[in-house]
Structure 1
Amino acid sequence: WNSHHVCLENTRASVLDDITRWVHSVPERGPNIPFFLSGGAGTGKSSVANSLAAQYHGLGSLGSAFCFDRAVAGRNAPDGLFRSVARGLAARDPVIREAIVTALKQDPDLPSADFTRQFASLVRDPCYKAATGSPIVLIFDALDECGDRKRLLNLFSSELPKLPPRFRVILTGRPVPDILAMLRVSMLEYPLSHDGVEVTSDISALVTQRLHAVAAENPELPEGWPVPGMLQALVHNAGGLFIWAKTACDFVEGSLDPERQLQKVLSAEYASKGIDALYTLALQDVITDEAHESFKVFVGLIMVAKVPLSVNGIALLAKQYQEQPAIPAKKLLGLLHSLLDGVETSSTPVKTLHPSFHDFLTHSSHSASTFHIDKAIHNGKLALACFKLLNAELKYNICGLPDNHAYNEEVSAQAISQGIGESLQYAVAFGLDHLLLVSPKMASTPLIEEVEIFLKDHLLHWMEVLSLLKCFSVAFRLQQLGPWLHELQGTEVQTELHELVKDAYRFSLMFRDEITSGALRIYSVPLLFTPTNTVLCKNYFSHKNTLWELLNGNKSWAALLATSTGHNGSVRSIAFSPDGTHLASASQDKTVRLWDGLTGAPIGGALQGHTGWVTSVAFSPDGTHLASASEDKTVRLWDVLTGAPIGDALQGHTHSVRSVAFSPDGTRLASASDDNTVRLWNGLTDALQGHTSYITSVAFSPDGTHLASASDDSTVRLWDVLTGALIGDALQGHSNSVTSVAFSPDGTHLASASWDNTVRLWDVLTGAPIGDALQGHTSYITSVAFSPDGTHLAIAFSPDGTHLASASWDNTVRLWDVLTGAPIGDALQGHTDSVTSVAFSPDGTHLASASDDNT
C-alpha cells in the first residue's frame, strides 16, 4: 500500500466509517463473508483501500494489503500474491509466523509453487492456527488489474469465507462481469457511488485544496484566483470521478501558466466530456508534431513493458530500436509529469498515474486517436530490442566472479547490479515473453536473425544470468518457444534451432538444482552430463570450461522426465488437466493426489474422502473440477483449486466403480462399474446395461454424442449419449478382458487395450477392426491413450491422434503409430512394477504413466 495515495483528510468519511464498522462486526458463527468495494474507474476505490491500510497499520491490525497493478509483472497476476500476504501475516502474528516457517521447512518448494498451493500452506492453514484474537485485516485492491484471474476469483469465492472470523477480508475492483459473477454470491458488495452530496463535497475539498496551493506558489496570479465559480465548475465537470478532478488539478499545477490551463479545462470543448477528453487536452498541450514519434516510441514501450522501467532503462532499450527518437527520453517523458509517475528522476520506475490513462492510450475504441498505442506493434519492437541487447551484452561470467564453483548466495547484490544493468535484467527476464507474443507469421527478419544469434551463442549466458537473478523458472518458457519456431517457414537452420531449444528445455529441467545453486556451474557438470548427440552439447560443450570428458555417457536424452512419489499404494489412474498444468492420480491408498504437470512436484496434500481403493480420475473440460471413482461404489467430485470435495459422493452403483469420464461440454459424467452397468450423471437416470461382466473403462467421443465402454466380457460397446441406446453390436476381437478404451481426437477411431496382451483399433462408424492387433507387450495391457495429434497410441491417443500409448503389466509403456500400427522405438522403461495407466499432456509433448510401484 502507498501512504501517498490515501484519501484527503475528512473525505470519504461515511465509506470509511461503514467499512470500519463492518471490520469490527466479527461474526460468531457461519461463513466469514468478505467485503467487496466495487466502483467504476476513477471513483476512488484505491484511495479508500490505501486509507484503510494506513488506518489498520497504525492500529497494528493490518495483516496484508496487496494492490494489483497491470503494469507490474509481480502484481498483475496471482503468482506472487500469497507470498506477499504470508510475509505480512508473519510480521503481524507470531503464531502465524511459526506455522509459515514450519510449512516452508516441510515443503521447501512452496515459494515457487502454484498460488493455490501457496494459499493453502502459507495463508489458510497458518490462519487456522491463530483462529482467535482481535481482528486482522487483509486488503486486496484493484482485482480488475489482475490479468489471469479466473482461478483466483474461484479461490476467493470458495475459500475466503472459510477463514476464521477474526480475519476480515476487504476486496476492491471495478464491477466487470466476471468479477461480479464470481463474488456477488459469496461476498457483501458495497457499490461506491460517484454521485450524491458527500461525493460532490469531497471532490470540492480536493480541487479547493489543490488549486489554492497552486495560487500560493504563484503569487503573480490574480488575487482571489481561482474564484468560487471556477471551483464549482471543476466539481461539476468531474461528474463524480475523483480521477478527473485529480488529473485536471495535475494539468493546471504543472503548467507555467496555471490561469490559461484552468480556462482550457473549463472551456466548452472539454467541459463535461469525461476523462478521455481531459487526457487528449493534456497530451495536445505538450506533444507537438515534432515530438509525436518520440512519444510513440517511449510511451509505447511503457505501455507494453512487463514491469515499470526507469527513464534510463527506457532510453537504453529504445536505443536498440531501428527508428531512433528525435527527442531524448528524459526530455519527452518529463513533459508528461501530470500523467506519468516517476519521470522526475532518471532512476525511478515510470508508470501511469491511473489505469484509465493506459486504457485511453491502448483500447481499440481509440484506434483513430493520434495518440493511440498499438500494443502488438510496440511489443514486437520491444522483443527485437531485448534480443539485440541480449546479444550485445551477455557473456561468460558477466559479474566477474573469482571462482567458477561459487554459490549464488555468496554473490553480492552490488556485484550483480554492476554486472547486469537494469535494461539487461529486463531483457533477460522478459525478452522471451515479448517474443512469444509476436505471431510467428508476423515476425520480422531482423527479429528472427537476433533470436538465431541468441540461441546459438548466448543460451547458457542467459541461464547464467537467470540463476544470478533468482528467476531461473523463466528458462522453462523455452518449452513454448519450440512451437513458436516450428511455425516459422521450415529451413534446415530453423529445424536445428528447434532441436536446440528442445535440448535447452530438457537441460534446464534436469540440471535446475545445480545451476541455481551456482550460476557458473552451468558450464561444468551440467554440460559434462549433457547427452553428446544433442545439438546443445555439440554447440556449447567446450574443454576450456569443462576439463573432464565423460566416457560412455548418454548419447541422447532419457525418456523419463521425473518420478513423482507420495502415494502409499499402487497408482491406478492418472490424468492431465486440460491446460497441462496439473496431473491427478488415483491410488489404492484410497486417496487422490495433484501434481505439477511440468515438474511432477506435489500440489497440496492428498484428497481424502473415499473409503476404498480409488480406481480412476478425470478432469472436467474447464479444469476446475476433478472426478474420482472408487471401490467404495461411489464417484466423488473435487475442487481442483482448493482440493475440497464438492457435495456428497454420487451413489447408485452396487459394486466397485472402475472408471469415470467427463463429456466434452462438461455437462455429463459417465461411470463404469463392476455391477456391469454404465451410469450417466446429470443426464439419464437409468443404468446403461448391455455388458455381461464388469465394465472397466468409459470414454466420450470428442463431439460428446457417443460413449464407449470396455468390459471383462472381452468386448467394447458404443452407446448413444442422448438416448442411452446401444449402437450396433459389441465390438469383438479380444480374447481376454478389455481394460481400457480411448477415442482418437477426430472421433473416427477407437483404441482398446486387453489382457490378451494386445491393442486393437476400431472404425467408430462401422465397428470394424482396423488392421491386425498391435502386439509387443509381454503381459496384460492396462491402459491406452492417443497423442494430441493422433499419430501415436499409449493406450491414450495423443491430442493430434497420430500416436497411441499403451501401459502393461510387463512394467513398460509403449508408443504406437496409429496410421501403420507399428511400435515407435523401444519400450519405455523405468517402473519397477506393473504400469496401470497412461495419459498424454494436452500439447502432446509429455506422457505420464502410473504404476503398482506407487509412482
Structure 2
Amino acid sequence: MASSFNNAHNFRIDNLNNIVYVNPPADPLGKLEARIAAGAIHDSAERCDAPKCHPETRVAVQDNLYRWIVDGDGEFERPKRIKWVTGPAGTGKSAVMGSLADRCAKNGLLGATFFFASWSSSIGRRRKTAFVTTIAHQLAQHREDLKSAISTAMEKNPGVLEKNLHIQMEILVLAPLREVVHQSEGPGLRGAILVDGLDECEAEQYHDTTSTGPRATPARTNAQDQLEILQVLQAASLDPYFPFRILIASRPERVFREFFDPERNSTSFTKNLDLNVEHNADADITLFLEAHFDLICRRYNFPLSWPPPGTIQTLVENASGQFIYAATIIRLFDTVHRDPPKVLLEAILNMGATRKTTLNPLGKLDALYIHILESSPDPPLAVRWIHTIHRGWFLSDATAFNITMLLQTDPESNEAEHLFETLHSLIQIPPQVHNDQTMSNYRFYHRSLLDFLEDPDRCGNLYVEQSERAA
C-alpha cells in the first residue's frame, strides 16, 4: 500500500490485514525508521495540504496553548504535563494543532508529532502500531546523545518492535531520556509532543475476527486502542525525567471524556481546552471569510460593494462555530464550478432553506454537502466511489489510479474526472488519474464529509447501504 509506513522499505499485507516486513534494514535506527508512520508527522508530504490557521485567526487559542507549553500552569511540585484539546467536528482542532506544531518547530520546542487520520491510505496513520516508533524516531533527530541512546536501546532490544506500546515507550523513549538527563551537561530538553485526531485511531486486530462460535475472539474496539495510547502517554508524563508537555486533540468521544474527567483523575492533567466553549470562533471565521472574499473580489474585479452587506454575518451564523463550513465555501469559489461567483453565493445563502436546520448546528453544513454532491453528473455513483476510496485499504496499493481502474466501467474513459468534476471542494483529486504513472492518492479535506455520508438522517437520499457500496 502506498505511503503506509516508510516507502523506502518493503512489506506485504497478510490475510488478516496485518503488515509483514520483508528485507528490513540491518542498522538499529534503520529498523526503527522502517516502522514509522512518516505521513503522520506534522510536516510530511502527505500533510502538505493539511489545514492551518489563517493568519490572525485562532490567535488566542494558539497563544494559550503555546504559553502552557513554555510555562505550564505555574505548578512547582508536580507539573501536570498533559492537556486535552477538544471540540466537535469542524471546529478547527487540526488547524490549531498544525499551526502550533509549526510555531513550536520554529522556536525549537517541538519534540514530536503524530496526526492520526481515518481517511488516510496509510495504515500507519489509522492505527496505533507505529505510534511510539514514530515518536521515538523524531526524538532521535533532536540531539546526538539522544540519537545514540535510542540507537543503543534498539540494538540491545531487537524484539522491541513486536512488543506492546507500554514496553516500546519504556525502552525507546523513557529509558533513553533518563540516560541523556543523567549524562548530559548541555541544555535540558523541553517542548511539546502533539497528538492530533486520536479519536480517528482504528483498532488493531490480532486474531481472525471472522471466526464464529463460543471460542471466537471478540474484535478489539477503536476505543480500546485509543485508551491504550492515552494510558501510555499518561505513564510517560508521570516519569520525573520526561521533559515534554503533551497536547492531545480529539473529538469529545466517551473514552476521552471519561479519561480526562477531573473528578476521576485530577492529579495527572491540566485544565481541558474546549474550542467550542472557551473560544468563540465567530470572530475568527469572520476574519477568514473577509480575507478570502477580498481575494475573490480582486480576482474577478468585482466592486467593493460585493458581497452584499450582511452576507458574511449570515455565513458566520450558518457556520455555527464550524470552520469547515467556511473553508468548504471558499474552496467552492476556488475550484471548478458551473456557476459564476455571484450566482454561487446566492445559491449558498439560499441552500437548506426548506430543511429543518435551525435547531441542528450541522444543518447548514449538511445542506452545503448535499448541494455540492448533487452537482455531480451522477451523485449516487459519486457517493459509492467516495465510500470505496475511504475504505481503499483493502487494496495492496490504494493509489488514485488503482482505485479508478477498479471502479470505472470503461478503462479507456476519464470517468473519475467526469464524476468528480464539481467535487474538488470536498476531495483532493490528483491530476490525470487515468495515467498509470500517477501514484498520488485521493484525499478528503475533512472527516465530517464521511460522518455525513454514514448518517441516513443527515444525508437523506444520498445514503448508500453497506451492501450497495462499491468494493
Normalising by structure 1, report the TM-score: 0.41
Q: Is residue 36 of structure 1 aligned with residue 123 of structure 2?
A: no
From the two aligned structures, give the one with the greater strand fraction.
Answer: 1
Report the counterpart of residue 117 of structure 1 in structure 2. 167
Give the secondary-structure state (helix, strand or coil) at the position aligned to 1:78: coil
Q: Is residue 65 of structure 1 aligned with residue 113 of structure 2?
A: yes
Which whole-Å CA distance do the structure 2 matches of 1:224 and 1:195 have between them? 34
Which whole-Å CA distance do the structure 1 matches of 2:468 and 2:331 have between them? 30
> Which of 285, 294, 299 is 2:381 aligned to?
294
Report the counterpart of residue 449 of structure 2 in structure 1. 357
User: Mind listing any 5+ residue stretches in structure 2 that lack a counterpart?
Assistant: 1-41, 182-186, 204-225
> Which of 261, 267, 270 is 2:350 aligned to?
267
CA deviation after TM superposition for structure 1 residue 117, in Å: 2.5
What percent identity do the matched residue pairs reach? Answer: 24
Q: Is residue 160 of structure 1 aligned with residue 243 of structure 2?
A: no
CA deviation after TM superposition for structure 1 residue 169, in Å: 0.9
Do the aligned partners of 1:334 and 1:343 also contact (CA within 8 Å) in 2?
no
Q: Call closer, same or farther: CA 1:81–1:252 in 2, change over 3 Å.
A: same
Within 5 A, what are the aligned runs for 1:495-514?
none
Q: Is residue 192 of structure 1 aligned with residue 274 of structure 2?
A: yes
> Which of 311, 325, 340 is 1:244 aligned to?
325
> Which of 43, 52, 56 is 2:100 aligned to?
52
Within 5 A, what are the aligned runs for 1:538-617?
none
Q: Is residue 332 of structure 1 aligned with residue 419 of structure 2?
A: yes
Which whole-Å CA distance do the structure 1 matches of 2:189 and 2:289 have between them? 38
Give the secondary-structure state (helix, strand or coil) at the position aligned to 1:37: strand
Give the secondary-structure state (helix, strand or coil) at the position aligned to 1:243: helix
Q: Is residue 277 of structure 1 aligned with residue 364 of structure 2?
A: no
Give the secondary-structure state (helix, strand or coil) at the position aligned to 1:226: coil
CA deviation after TM superposition for structure 1 residue 75, in Å: 1.0
CA deviation after TM superposition for structure 1 residue 343, in Å: 3.7
Once the two structures are superposed, residues 650-702 of structure 1 have per-residue CA deviations (whole angstroms, 9 ceiling, x without a partner) of: xxxxxxxxxxxxxxxxxxxxxxxxxxxxxxxxxxxxxxxxxxxxxxxxxxxxx
Once the two structures are superposed, residues 627-648 of structure 1 have per-residue CA deviations (whole angstroms, 9 ceiling, x without a partner) of: xxxxxxxxxxxxxxxxxxxxxx
Once the two structures are superposed, residues 594-634 of structure 1 have per-residue CA deviations (whole angstroms, 9 ceiling, x without a partner) of: xxxxxxxxxxxxxxxxxxxxxxxxxxxxxxxxxxxxxxxxx
Larger radius of gyration: 1
Give the secondary-structure state (helix, strand or coil) at the position aligned to 1:24: helix
CA deviation after TM superposition for structure 1 residue 33, in Å: 2.8
Do the aligned partners of 2:286 and 2:312 also contact (CA within 8 Å) in 1?
yes
Do the aligned partners of 1:340 and 1:350 also contact (CA within 8 Å) in 2?
yes
Report the counterpart of residue 149 of structure 2 in structure 1. 99
Do the aligned partners of 2:169 and 2:236 also contact (CA within 8 Å) in 1?
no
Which whole-Å CA distance do the structure 1 matches of 2:107 and 2:279 have between them? 30
Which whole-Å CA distance do the structure 2 matches of 1:293 and 1:324 have between them? 20
Which whole-Å CA distance do the structure 2 matches of 1:205 and 1:45 have between them? 18
CA deviation after TM superposition for structure 1 residue 14, in Å: 1.3
The residue type paired with residue 85 of structure 1 is: I
From the two aligned structures, give the one with the greater helix fraction.
Answer: 2
Report the counterpart of residue 340 of structure 2 in structure 1. 257
Do the aligned partners of 1:77 and 1:147 also contact (CA within 8 Å) in 2?
yes
Which whole-Å CA distance do the structure 2 matches of 1:305 and 1:235 have between them? 35
> Which of 151, 173, 176 is 2:250 aligned to?
173
Do the aligned partners of 1:157 and 1:182 also contact (CA within 8 Å) in 2?
no
Report the counterpart of residue 231 of structure 1 in structure 2. 312
Do the aligned partners of 1:83 and 1:118 also contact (CA within 8 Å) in 2?
yes
Do the aligned partners of 1:296 and 1:371 also contact (CA within 8 Å) in 2?
yes
Do the aligned partners of 1:157 and 1:183 also contact (CA within 8 Å) in 2?
no
Give the secondary-structure state (helix, strand or coil) at the position aligned to 1:35: strand
Within 5 A, what are the aligned runs for 1:596-675?
none
Q: Is residue 209 of structure 1 aligned with residue 291 of structure 2?
A: yes
Do the aligned partners of 1:300 and 1:375 also contact (CA within 8 Å) in 2?
no
Which whole-Å CA distance do the structure 1 matches of 2:406 and 2:180 have between them? 48
CA deviation after TM superposition for structure 1 residue 3, in Å: 6.4
CA deviation after TM superposition for structure 1 residue 112, in Å: 4.2
CA deviation after TM superposition for structure 1 residue 235, in Å: 1.4
CA deviation after TM superposition for structure 1 residue 224, in Å: 2.7
Normalising by structure 2, report the TM-score: 0.72
Do the aligned partners of 1:66 and 1:84 also contact (CA within 8 Å) in 2?
yes
Q: Call closer, same or farther: CA 1:226–1:243 in 2, change over 3 Å.
A: same
Once the two structures are superposed, residues 237-289 of structure 1 have per-residue CA deviations (whole angstroms, 9 ceiling, x without a partner) of: 111111111112222333341111111111163586332121111112x223x
Q: Is residue 143 of structure 1 aligned with residue 198 of structure 2?
A: yes
The residue type paired with residue 179 of structure 2 is: K
Give the secondary-structure state (helix, strand or coil) at the position aligned to 1:240: coil
**Larger RCO: Structure 1 or Structure 2 (Cα < 8 Å, ≥ 6 residues apart)?**
2
Report the counterpart of residue 549 of structure 1 in structure 2. none
Q: Call closer, same or farther: CA 1:196–1:188 in 2, change over 3 Å.
A: closer
Give the secondary-structure state (helix, strand or coil) at the position aligned to 2:135: helix
Report the counterpart of residue 625 of structure 1 in structure 2. none
Give the secondary-structure state (helix, strand or coil) at the position aligned to 1:162: coil
The residue type paired with residue 357 of structure 1 is: L
Which whole-Å CA distance do the structure 1 matches of 2:349 and 2:277 have between them? 20
CA deviation after TM superposition for structure 1 residue 206, in Å: 0.6
Which whole-Å CA distance do the structure 2 matches of 1:181 and 1:75 have between them? 24
Give the secondary-structure state (helix, strand or coil) at the position aligned to 2:272: strand
Which whole-Å CA distance do the structure 1 matches of 2:330 and 2:260 have between them? 35
Report the counterpart of residue 219 of structure 2 in structure 1. none
Which whole-Å CA distance do the structure 2 matches of 1:261 and 1:361 have between them? 23
Q: Is residue 90 of structure 1 aligned with residue 140 of structure 2?
A: yes
Instruction: Give the superposed CA RMSD.
Output: 2.8
Give the secondary-structure state (helix, strand or coil) at the position aligned to 1:71: coil
Q: Is residue 311 of structure 1 aligned with residue 394 of structure 2?
A: no
Q: Call closer, same or farther: CA 1:3–1:300 in 2, change over 3 Å.
A: closer
CA deviation after TM superposition for structure 1 residue 309, in Å: 3.7
Do the aligned partners of 1:212 and 1:226 also contact (CA within 8 Å) in 2?
no
Which whole-Å CA distance do the structure 1 matches of 2:259 and 2:442 have between them? 33
Report the counterpart of residue 371 of structure 1 in structure 2. 462
Do the aligned partners of 2:285 and 2:323 also contact (CA within 8 Å) in 1?
yes
Do the aligned partners of 2:169 and 2:232 also contact (CA within 8 Å) in 1?
no
Which whole-Å CA distance do the structure 2 matches of 1:164 and 1:376 have between them? 52
User: Mind listing any 5+ residue stretches in structure 1 that lack a counterpart?
Assistant: 383-855
Which whole-Å CA distance do the structure 1 matches of 2:94 and 2:467 have between them? 29
Which whole-Å CA distance do the structure 1 matches of 2:351 and 2:260 have between them? 41
Do the aligned partners of 1:61 and 1:92 also contact (CA within 8 Å) in 2?
no
Which whole-Å CA distance do the structure 1 matches of 2:404 and 2:312 have between them? 39
